[in-house]
């Protein structure tokens, strides 16, 4: 796909809301695939490591239940076994770290929409215009692939130091509402980590049922910041997002009064006609238009549906 059609700094206040499908092109799994990957890792269990308190038998029992429970995501499974949330998060973090390969983000591999986004953050002269661009990103993903891509692309294109790239990138709000696998470049983007390091990283992520609802405000500072970004946006693009009702509710934004006059579009690649029909029926009372759901993939979205 040809994504380098010139530079087009983002002048319209725009929020991208990212779900798991947004990073599939750089080898991260969707919910069902993550369960498959986890259940293949029984032989890697916890193998008498003093840093963890779970035995191999406990891990094997957990993964056996996970594989047979019929859930489409591990978050859904963990809602039924909240006492094992720490084990689940450890296994998630370990599996997600296995996908951290910086070379997978760049050619000859598929950079996909990341490359388009990077070039959209440059000014007409080709120089970085991150501070002037009207873009914000809310991500429900733990992975750091987009941030790493932008950071490394700045270094390579403009011969920036790592600190300079971090400073430039900090002009674009990127909110991980459920936490992430750690700050970059402080925590390297690589698969090789010790068990105690993975355990520490796992403490930084929150699965859906751990995020407490509050009637008098937001369930976390990150969700409050996400709400503020949505309130200032004229365009809201959902990329690879699953629309879990809890995630939508906790943003405390999507009601008809708030969405009126805003352009809201969502990818639905991989969903069947019945799924799309049911999702449309669920979203319209929240202020989504009947044309909000779009069947394109994340990689095709900005060339086929809406340019930044």
State the DSSP string of 207-240. -GGGS---TTS-SSHHHHHHHHHHHT-SEEEEES
Of 110, 134, 150, nearest to 28 by C-alpha is 110
Give me the sign of the Cα torsion angle 96, 97, 101, 105.
positive
Q: Verify that 82 and 227 share a domain, yes or no.
A: no
Task: Please state, in angstroms and rounded to a whole number, the distance separating the CA atoms of residues 39 and 70.
Answer: 13
Q: Single out the residue in 76, 98, 120 at which a domain terminates.
A: 98
- The three-class DSSP label of residue 79 is helix
**Measured distance CA(128)–CA(158) in Å, rounded:** 9
Q: Residue 185: is the preceding peptide bond cis (ω within 30°)?
A: yes
Cβ burial of 12 (10 Å; 0-12, 13-18, 19+) is exposed
Of 73, 98, 123, the position where a domain reaches its end is: 98
Condensed to tens digits (0 to 9), the pLDDT of residues 156-190 reads: 999 999 999 999 999 999 999 999 999 999 999 99
- Whether residue 190 is contained in a domain is answered as no
If pLDDT is split at 50, 70 and 90, which confidence band does 5 have?
Answer: very low
Q: Which two tokens stand for residue 160?
A: 């920036």
For residues 178 and 207, the answer to whether their CB atoms sit within 8 Å is yes
CATH number at residue 132: 3.40.50
Looking at residue 72, what DSSP letter applies? S
- Are residues 18 and 37 located together in one domain of the fold? no
207 in a structural domain: no
| Local confidence band at 57 (pLDDT 50, 70, 90 cut-offs) | confident
Structure token pair of residue 280: 């449309």
Residues 136 and 279 in one domain: yes
Q: Rounded to whole angstroms, what are the CA distances from 210 to 32, 92, 178?
A: 20, 15, 9
Give the model's pLDDT for residue 158: 97
Q: Closest Cα to residue 189, out of 94, 92, 101?
A: 101
Q: Measuring CA to CA, which residue among 178, 112, 192, 108 is closest to residue 145? A: 112
Token duo for residue 158: 């403009």
Same domain for 239 and 303, yes or no, is yes
Decide if 134 is inside a domain: yes
Q: Cβ distance 75 to 32 under 8 Å? A: no
Asked if residue 201 belongs to a domain, the reply is no
Residues 282 and 137 in one domain: yes
Can you give the pTM of this predicted structure?
A: 0.92
Are residues 46 and 73 located together in one domain of the fold? yes
The yes-or-no verdict on residue 219 having pLDDT over 70 is: yes
Looking at residues 278-289, what average pLDDT do you find?
Answer: 96
**Residues 1, 22 within the same domain:** yes
Position 208 in a domain: no
Residues 273 and 287 in one domain: yes
Domain that holds residue 93: 31-98
Residue 223: pLDDT band (50, 70, 90) is: very high
pLDDT at 80: 87
Residue 254 lies in a domain: yes
Q: Does 48 score more than 70 pLDDT?
A: no
- pLDDT, mean of residues 115-137: 95
Does 173 map to a domain?
Answer: yes
Q: Does residue 89 sit in the same domain as residue 228?
A: no
The Cα 188–Cα 182 span in angstroms is 9
Question: Taking the CA atoms of the chain, what radius of gyration do you get in angstroms?
Answer: 20
Query: What's the N-to-C CA distance of the chain in angstroms?
Result: 16
Q: Are 265 and 237 in contact (CB under 8 A)?
A: yes
| Count of structural domains, the chain | 2
Q: Is 63 found in the same domain as 16?
A: no
Distance CA 246, CA 285 (A): 15
Q: Is residue 189 part of a domain?
A: no
Q: Do 161 and 48 fall within a single domain?
A: no
Domain boundary (98, 131, 152) is at: 98
Same domain, 53 and 170: no
Residue 47 in this model has a pLDDT that exceeds 60: no
């Amino acid at each position: 796909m040809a994504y380098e059609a010139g530079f087009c700094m983002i002048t319209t206040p725009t929020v991208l809301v990212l779900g798991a499908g947004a990073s599939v092109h750089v080898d991260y799994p969707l919910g069902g695939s993550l369960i498959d990957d986890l259940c293949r890792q029984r032989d890697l269990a916890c193998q008498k490591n003093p840093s963890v308190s779970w035995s191999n038998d406990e891990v094997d029992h957990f993964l056996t239940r996970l594989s047979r429970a019929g859930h489409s995501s591990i978050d859904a499974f963990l809602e039924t076994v909240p006492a094992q949330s720490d084990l689940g998060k450890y296994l998630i973090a370990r599996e997600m770290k296995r996908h951290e390969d910086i070379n997978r983000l760049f050619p000859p591999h598929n950079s996909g929409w990341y490359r388009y986004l990077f070039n959209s953050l440059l000014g007409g002269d080709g120089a970085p215009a991150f501070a002037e661009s009207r873009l914000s990103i809310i991500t429900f993903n733990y992975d750091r692939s987009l941030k790493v891509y932008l950071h490394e692309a700045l270094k390579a294109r403009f011969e920036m130091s790592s600190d300079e790239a971090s400073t430039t990138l900090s002009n674009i709000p990127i909110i991980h509402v459920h936490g992430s696998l750690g700050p970059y470049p402080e925590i390297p983007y690589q698969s090789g980590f010790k068990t105690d390091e993975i355990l520490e990283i796992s403490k930084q992520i929150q699965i859906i049922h751990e995020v407490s609802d509050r009637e008098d405000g937001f369930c976390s500072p990150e969700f409050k910041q996400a709400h503020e970004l949505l309130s200032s946006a004229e365009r809201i693009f959902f990329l690879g997002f699953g629309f879990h009702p809890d995630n939508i509710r906790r943003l405390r934004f999507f009601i008809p009064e708030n969405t009126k006059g805003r352009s809201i579009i969502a990818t639905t690649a991989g969903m069947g006609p019945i799924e799309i029909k049911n999702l449309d029926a669920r979203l319209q009372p929240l202020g989504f238009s009947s044309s909000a759901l779009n069947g394109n993939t994340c990689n095709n979205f900005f060339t086929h549906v809406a340019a930044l």
